[in-house]
Amino acid sequence: MRLLKFSASWCTPCQVLTAQLNGIDDDMPALEYEEVDIDEMPDKAAEYGVMSIPTLVVETADGEEVARHSGFLPKDAVRELIEGGR
């Protein structure tokens, strides 16, 4: 599974979410975690159709999107989002 977090440096909820997600890939060894700054990678944000931030996208290893959430989530809810996408 792969978790992509779309955010920007100026986004306060994104910064809080980043702190919440710190170490999530250590807690879930099968998870690949990637942060995407929409200002630095606008093409990737457009490719995923990201309209607001923060946005979390859960994908299978094959790149199939299985879950998405826009807005802040606490770490436990992020885990549920990931596990629901399995």
Which residues are known to be catalytic?
A: 11, 14
Q: How far apart are CA 1 and CA 51, in angstroms?
A: 23
Element (H, E) at 71: none
**31 touches 82 (CB < 8 A):** yes
